[in-house]
Structure 1
Amino acid sequence: MKKIKFILSITLVFAFVLTNIAVITPKASATGVILYQHLYAKAKEAADEIPSSLKDGDMSVDLGKFKDKHGNTPLNKSGGTFKNGDWTLEPDNAGHLGYNGEKKVWKLKHPRKNNSKGRVASLDKYGNVISD
């Protein structure tokens, strides 16, 4: 009798695990894909607001075009404020991640942006636009 109960309990656990793998995983994967697509679309919208004169590609900003008051660029200095005309790059110290899993390192701002802080986009250490 103990052997039958043991086999039955193992079978039920096995069935439960298979059911969860078959039912929950696709839903979780679909949710992850939808979230990724949404975050990517927001980053793409932000990249479209940046003038091509500051870009190094479709979704990449040329960090070398920004300079601080001493002539340094974000390529060789990790802190401080960098400017190019009305556009400003400031360090992002929150440690949040963008759509691609990279850490947000820079905040790209413009004074005419209609949000409270003027942020247009967040960039990773390479200048890629990874968030709005």
Structure 2
Amino acid sequence: MSNSLFIGASQELDLASKLTSEGIIVSTPLVDIGVDLIASNKDFSNSIPIQVKYKSVERNIFFTGKEIDSYNSKNVYIAYYLAQESWFMPFSKFLELAERPEGRKDRAGYIKVKDKSTELAQYKGKQGFTLMIDAIKNA
């Protein structure tokens, strides 16, 4: 079993803990519905599904075509961890910034972090986390 599975699971738990400390109610689906967490405000009037991704060596924010198809119709937020850096953004923003080369059989999409650093700045680290908290609490 790959160590990255354990690291990914720990990232999910860490994010759930941080959201909880901000007064967000966090649930994990009992069945695989294509997202890792469901975050709700205190009165449950707003819930946002969150997909958590962790990559230790990759330098791009990457989703397969199958994942893109799955998240595209949902109001999904992504929490993407690349080594020690993190981004928190609506999946719709990923789609807006992503490259999707037509020749790829897997229909994948990716954001080259070094090329899109300006566009990604507001979603990076604490600033992006705060935007996600606001989206959960105030939508």
Q: TM-score, normalised by structure 1?
A: 0.28
Larger Rg: 1
Q: TM-score, normalised by structure 2?
A: 0.27
